[in-house]
Structure 1
Amino acid sequence: MAKPMNNIVYNVPTQASSRILVVEDDRDIASMLIDLMTEAGYAAEAVGSSIEMDRVLKKKDFHLIVLDGMLPGEDGFSICRRIRSFDTIPILMLTARTKEIDRVVGLELGADDYVTKPFKSRELLARIKALLRRSSYSVQVKPKQEPMTFAGWRIDPVTRELTDRDGFHVSLTTAEFDVLLVFCQNPRKVMNRQEILALTHAGSAGPVERSIDVHVSRVRQKIEPNYKDPTFIKTVRLGGYIFTPEVAIAP
């Protein structure tokens, strides 16, 4: 039985490089996670519910959220979907729900990684480090990467923005943006899942094929005229994927 938890905030070193919010209602697990992360040099805080999470997020900025899937009140899957509606902060789901369908649902709702309990400390830290590295890389300014257009869409690698033909901003997670950017940088080229993985680090959440497929599926839902019959990102049997639109440097 999980011990009830009241908005616990742990003191952490001020020099910690990245700030992590742990949303976990079990006090013992939360305490263990905070100890693990602070020993690794991260600043970390823990809250026990979505209400407490919302309160903290209004006051502070974080680089990563470690989110329990089974919480009192609003569960982690609902929280993940809600956060994704307005923010691209990396989310690592940490849950006892071990079925493959739960993993897929978590990724489809916008989680960047999915780790099941019980977990190995070194593996969890490695996944956290990978997500933070990818997120840090994604916000670095790269002057040589110019905005590109395809089929009326505009993607900007520097600002990390995607806009449709009407100029409306379309929200993408870090992994989704990375996948789409790789396609735009390699148009009309068959790319297998391992190539996409190597260029995006998007497959860390489970079996490579399944993880890449989930990210591609989410991108399709946002850019395809009909995502059930995709014409932009086509599946190549035994090959992977091919991005079919013509890509040009934006004027």
Structure 2
Amino acid sequence: MSKLLIIDDDSSLTESLSVFFQQHHFDLICANEPQHGYELIGLESPKLVLLDIMMPGIDGFTLCKQIRQAYTLPIIMLTARGRLEDKVHGFELGVDDYLPKPFEPAELLVRVQALLRRSFSEEQRSTEQQGVLFFAGLAIFSAQQIVKVDGEDVHLSGMEFHLLKALASNPGKVFNREQITGVVKGVEVDLYGRSVDILLSRLRQKLNDSVSSPRFIKTIRGVGYTFIATPL
């Protein structure tokens, strides 16, 4: 799961949002005290920060300025103060989006997803020459033959890596068993004596993917397999 951080002194709000985001495959880390929240950025490396303005001790504007001096991750400011001058000040400090309270969690989720897509797209453009493929929850580094799922390294064999890269390079294309054999032929060992289905099953297991509710590879019954992850 991608990590997010919310810094807000309203513990009931942070707890309810944590449950909501968990249901949508995000790990929302909560901090109800500004300085603790700032420390968690370095400790947990979240992909995005949700930041309240009205907090005791250090207000959100001051904390935003501190964050921007050290980090480039996206920031969404949450506040009950909807004044235009607050929004302008927030954007001047480097806030990426602004959502007034009260808000619907579903709207916040959409804004988070949009910012993460933009962030990953910028990262993808900067690494295109290195042959890096980014998808929701998955990154494939071709030159280093490294795969990350939800930010964690996944160790694949050469055959598994080449198969995953071939599928991911053609999202939506359905590969039958003969085409998959052609993709991996000559990688490590020949597929003689091995089943394509077993190879896919092993790859799915390492990606922590589910046959019944797939994130990355979907089985098209009687036809083959297709890659379904959302490009970033």
| TM-score bucket of the superposed structures, by smaller chain | 0.5 to 0.7
CA displacement, residues 120-178 of structure 1 (integer Å, 9 cap, x when unaligned): 2221111000011111111111229xxxxxxxxxxxxxxxxxxxxxxxxxxxxxxxxxx
Distance 2:103 2:35 in 1: 26
Give the match for residue 24 of structure 2. 40
Q: Secondary structure at the match of 2:129?
A: coil
CA distance in 1, matches of 2:70, 2:11: 28
Which residue does 1:87 correspond to in 2?
Answer: 71
Quick one: which amino acid aligns to residue 131 of structure 1? L
Matches within 5 A, 1:1-251: 16=1, 18-140=2-124, 141-143=127-129
After superposition, the C-alpha distances for 1:207-247 in whole angstroms (9 at most, x for unaligned) are: xxxxxxxxxxxxxxxxxxxxxxxxxxxxxxxxxxxxxxxxx
Q: Which one has the bigger strand percentage?
A: 2
Runs of 4+ in 1 over 6 A off after TM superposition: none
Whether the 8 Å CA contact 2:38–2:67 is kept in 1: the answer is: no
Q: What is the rounded CA distance, in whole Å, between the counterparts of 2:88 and 2:18 in structure 1?
A: 27
Distance of 1:117 and 1:125 partners within structure 2: 14
Amino acid at match of 1:64: L
Shift of 1:58: 2.9
The normalised TM-score by structure 1 is 0.49
Equivalent-residue separation in structure 2 for 1:25 and 1:106 (angstroms): 19
Structure with greater helix percent: 2
Q: Secondary structure at the match of 1:143?
A: helix
Partners of 2:81 and 2:47 in 1: CA distance: 25
CA contact (8 A) 2:49 2:73 kept: yes
Counterparts of 1:138 and 1:44, CA distance in 2? 23
Distance 2:38 2:105 in 1: 27
Q: Max radius of gyration: which structure?
A: 2
Amino acid at match of 2:15: S
Q: CA deviation at 1:85?
A: 1.3
Alpha-carbon separation, structure 1, partners of 2:42 and 2:73: 14
Distance 2:112 2:102 in 1: 16
Gapped regions of structure 2 (runs ≥ 5): 131-232
